[in-house]
Chain A
Amino acid sequence: MTDTSTHKDEMNPYAALQDDEPPKAPRNQWLDVWDQFKKHKGAVFGGGFLMFITLAVLLGPYIWNVDPQKLDIRNKDVRPIWTAIWDSSAKILWHRPFGTDNLGRDILANMIAGGRASMAVGWTAMLLSLSIGTAIGVAAGYFKRLDGFLMRMTDLFLSLPILPLLLVAVTLFRQPLRANFGPEGGMFILIVVVVGLTSWMQTARIVRGEILALKEREFILAARSIGTSSGAIIRRHLLPNVVSPIMVSATLGLAVAIITESALSFLGVGFPSDFPTWGKMLADAVPRMEQYPERVLLPGIAISLTVLGVNYLGDGLRDALDPRIRGR
């Protein structure tokens, strides 16, 4: 007995060194990020919802090809089809699943068109504020001479209240922009530019902090010692290392842009009145919300869920991109 057991031990001297399973391929950093991201339920929901909304507003008009502007006055004030569940006498039409408004325009088509406007403003304003913020943050962090001036400018912009500023800007610049770019195009440019110009400060601050820390690291010193120019150092060594904070502030920027656009439309100073957006649909429905609460609820829920999804996505990205949290 003892003999066989010792014999057995001698048989596999390398057993402890061998793996129980076949060796895995080396893992990509982004796979780790994805694994951590999947653990955050809210973030997965948020990302999924944002993708759903974006796809819906992009592909929706091809699937549900009803003109959102078409008036159908005979079929006005149609309730959504689910109203029939509790109110069998309600006026519903099967080819108008979300009902129609007080001029007989199809609400589903309006929701899709309104979402297009909100999403377009949100994404463009976010990209604009990201590029401004990153440029200023990198310049302030990398070039010491610019730091003081740029950061004081950031403080200045941080103290601007966005909504009053936008209202004043709309009053001042609406006419010239409308004359040059048409009523919708001019308003789009105005909203995107003002939202972009007033929301880049957080990105700039975060990027500057990261760049200040990265600049003192050895790999930058090495790059400089072989004669790499400042532009190449920024492009190849610094920017790839600050991608994660930029992505997190991108989500926040998207949320802010969507809310600001809806608020402007709600106050009636946004897009022209025949151009549907979620904020405008909500504002139009408020006077008659006692009879038709769904017309307030549908755009309101769409705005809220989109912004909630974007915020959760940002939370999840922050956790997933932080190597100290990853793997816990």
Chain B
Amino acid sequence: MAQVPLTVPPEVKQKMREALGLGAPVHIQYLKWLNQFFIVEPQFLIDWMTRNSFLFGWLPDTQLGMVYDAELQKLVPQQRNISWQTRSPIMDIVIQRIPQTLWVVGLAYLVGILIALPIGIYSAYRHYSIFDQTGTFITMVGFSIPPFFTGPLLIVIFSVTLGWLPSIYDTTHVVNDWASFKYQLSQMILPVMVLALQTTAQISRYMRASVLDNLSQDYVRTARAKGLKEGVVVMVHVLRNSMIPVITVIALGIPSIFGGAIITENVFGVNGIGQLLITALFANDIPMVMTITFIFAIMIVAFNLIADVLYGVLDPRIRYD
């Protein structure tokens, strides 16, 4: 409605509003939105998956999102949630953007976890050693330096001064041979580094605390008294027990993969979901903002549930009555 010319008289404008359903009561509008979000859009998602995706592309095209139009005598797509900026269906844009976010932010999360776990275990095992002290200091630094400072700092060091890595993530880059794969790898290093520093700082602190808790337990002494090797005691007995709280922390952090990297995506020009959200906010694109935030909400609830269930599965001492 914002783009209706000023020459349109007010009573015509009012009629346009009513035709768009803006005069309907709030609960009707809400039910219509629910229908749109939970019934119509998933049908298009299934369509897309059976047509284009790698995993389910072999299935026959479902055409769930299409309705038969009697006038035109053919199948036409149903009415969809339209972005005010691009005038195209929101879900299609979201599906375009998700791979970038998953690649960069997801990989960073994975790298962060893989670095954090050994650091956490070793610094708890050698409590108060030099390694532990340095590790604690580095995690503290990783905790404290915000990504909008580490990002530019790394760009100045590695792109400007040394010239080793590109400073902007090129999303249109296609990987088809070894050289382009190397380029893809090099442009991913900086954003992954920035994000992984934060993940590492957080998870290694949890891991260290958890291993420290477990190392002083009675079963560790029993295991040592049985004559088990130190490696077996730490890497099997202690590790399995101390992973329980850490895994829930990891599961709780997964929704932030999809939403939390707004700043990093902005600094490096990765056009993922976070960048989509912020451009939509600047453009006052309310339908887009609503859809993205609602997707975040679903993710957060789902992963909270998964974390709770995992906790019960991994630790038989915990029972939900």
Q: Hey, which bits of chain A sit against chain B, CB under 8 A?
A: 42, 155, 159-161, 163-164, 167-168, 170-171, 255, 259, 262-263, 266-267, 269, 279, 282-283, 286, 289-290, 293, 296-297, 300, 303-304, 307-308, 311-312, 315
State whether A308 and B141 are in contact (beta carbons under 8 Å apart), knowing that A163-B262, A300-B153 are contacts in the complex.
yes
Residue from the list A171, A267, A269, A296 in contact with B153, Cβ < 8 A: A296
Kindly state the separation between the CA atoms of A303 and B263 in the bound complex, as whole angstroms: 16
Kindly state the separation between the CA atoms of A311 and B144 in the bound complex, as whole angstroms: 7
Across-interface contacts of B67 in A (CB, < 8 A):
none
> Chain B nearest CB: distance from A45 CB in Å?
12
> Chain A nearest CB: distance from B245 CB in Å?
15
Residue from the list B144, B160, B266 in contact with A255, Cβ < 8 A: B144
Across-interface contacts of B278 in A (CB, < 8 A):
167, 267
State whether A308 and B263 are in contact (beta carbons under 8 Å apart), knowing that A262-B148, A282-B148 are contacts in the complex.
no
Kindly state the separation between the CA atoms of A200 and B140 in the bound complex, as whole angstroms: 22
Binds A, one of B18-26, B57-65, B296-304: B296-304
Assess whether A161 is in contact with B146, with CB atoms less than 8 Å apart: no
Closest 9 CB pairs of A and B: A300-B149, A308-B144, A307-B144, A266-B148, A304-B145, A159-B300, A171-B281, A290-B160, A259-B146
Assess whether A171 is in contact with B140, with CB atoms less than 8 Å apart: no
Across-interface contacts of B166 in A (CB, < 8 A):
none
Kindly state the separation between the CA atoms of A303 and B149 in the bound complex, as whole angstroms: 9
Across-interface contacts of B296 in A (CB, < 8 A):
161, 164
Kindly state the separation between the CA atoms of A99 and B107 in the bound complex, as whole angstroms: 40
Q: Is B232 an interface residue (CB 8 A)?
A: no
Kindly state the separation between the CA atoms of A163 and B262 in the bound complex, as whole angstroms: 8
Task: Assign chain B's interface to a size class.
Answer: 20 to 34
Across-interface contacts of B149 in A (CB, < 8 A):
282, 296, 300, 303-304
> Chain A nearest CB: distance from B9 CB in Å?
27
Q: Is B112 an interface residue (CB 8 A)?
A: no
> Chain A nearest CB: distance from B84 CB in Å?
13
State whether A161 and B152 are in contact (beta carbons under 8 Å apart), knowing that A167-B278, A263-B263, A307-B144 are contacts in the complex.
no
Q: Is B89 an interface residue (CB 8 A)?
A: no
Q: Hey, which bits of chain B sit against chain A, CB under 8 A?
A: 137, 140-141, 143-146, 148-149, 152-153, 155-156, 160, 255-256, 259-260, 262-263, 266-267, 277-278, 281-282, 284, 289, 293, 296, 300-301, 304
State whether A263 and B144 are in contact (beta carbons under 8 Å apart), knowing that A161-B255, A164-B296, A290-B160 are contacts in the complex.
no
- 8 more A-B residue pairs beyond the given contacts A164-B262, A304-B149, with a C-beta to C-beta distance below 8 A: A282-B152, A289-B160, A290-B160, A296-B156, A304-B144, A308-B140, A308-B141, A311-B144
Assess whether B260 is in contact with A286, with CB atoms less than 8 Å apart: no
Across-interface contacts of A266 in B (CB, < 8 A):
148, 263
Assess whether A312 is in contact with B140, with CB atoms less than 8 Å apart: yes
State whether A171 and B284 are in contact (beta carbons under 8 Å apart), knowing that A267-B266, A282-B148 are contacts in the complex.
yes
Across-interface contacts of A263 in B (CB, < 8 A):
146, 148, 263
Across-interface contacts of B304 in A (CB, < 8 A):
155, 159
> Chain B nearest CB: distance from A114 CB in Å?
14
Assess whether B152 is in contact with A289, with CB atoms less than 8 Å apart: yes
A-B residue pairs in contact (CB < 8 Å), sample of 5: A164-B296, A170-B281, A296-B156, A300-B149, A304-B149
Kindly state the separation between the CA atoms of A277 and B258 in the bound complex, as whole angstroms: 29
Assess whether A303 is in contact with B281, with CB atoms less than 8 Å apart: no
> Chain B nearest CB: distance from A128 CB in Å?
21
Assess whether A283 is in contact with B301, with CB atoms less than 8 Å apart: no
Assess whether A286 is in contact with B152, with CB atoms less than 8 Å apart: yes
